[in-house]
Amino acid sequence: MSTNRPEVRIAERAGFCYGVRLAIDKARQASEAGEEVTTLGQLVHNPGIKADLESRGIQTAELADQVEGGTLVVRAHGVPRDEMETLKSKGELQLIDATCTWVLQSQKAARELDEAGYTVCIIGHENHPEVRGVRSYAGEKHVVVDDMDRSTWERVPRTKKLGVLSQSTILPSKLEEFAAFCLKRCHDLRVVNTVCPVTLTRQDDSVKLAAEVDAMIV
């Protein structure tokens, strides 16, 4: 650091992705229209947004069972299949499905790969809400492996057909490495690249900025 007052720079593309922004906007709009709004889990882990939503009377429930009436917002991460079915079956509930289009695409890909006879392998964080949602469409044989813990990759079976999906926010290089790994274990590999394009540009911007600064807060 050359002076006592550090220069603060923000990456070119920063802030919430459009999936999260859309979910926030939908919750606010419903609230402004006088509806009693609850979100299923936090829309985004950001104290400012959390305070703003609370000040508008928008509540957060952790489980679908905790919500009986009013308007429920399903956040951008999506929810597991059975949870969505439960929510849809609640007649008294007004449902706003703000699941990100990219996540919906992953869920669809998981179902299609499973139906086509591929053992679905998802790389990401086992307990991430998005992964919990996507894996619920991936059939009984599916496995989840951790992008940062190579030992979990051993969960991938040696079988004829492997189908690979990723959590939307992992590093593309990890997906490539995992795809090469899976190719050793099967004859027919299908990889649906579900790394989010918005995340991709942000990762690029972050790497670029990181090379130009002394310290970085993500």
| Active-site residue, from 62, 130, 176, 177 | 130
Size of interface with a second copy, in residues (CB under 8 A)? 16
- Determine if 54 is a binding residue for a second copy (CB under 8 A): no
Say whether residue 193 binds a second copy (CB under 8 A). Answer: yes
- 104 is an interface residue for a second copy by CB under 8 A: no
d(CA 27, CA 187): 46
Pick 40 or 175: Cβ nearer a second copy: 175
Q: Give the other-Cβ count within 10 Å of 14's Cβ.
A: 10
**H or E element in which residue 121 lies:** strand 119-124
Spatial contact of 38 and 59, defined as CB atoms under 8 Å apart: yes
Residues 165-184 that bind a second copy (CB under 8 A): 172, 175-177, 179-180, 183-184
Handedness of CA 108, 111, 116, 120 (dihedral sign): positive
Question: Per CB under 8 A, does 187 bind a second copy?
Answer: yes
Q: At its nearest, how many Å lie between a second copy and the CB of residue 52?
A: 35
Contacting residues for 183 by C-beta, under 8 A, at least 6 apart: 189
The binding site for a second copy (CB under 8 A) comprises 172, 175-177, 179-180, 183-184, 186-193
**What are the residue numbers of the active site?**
130
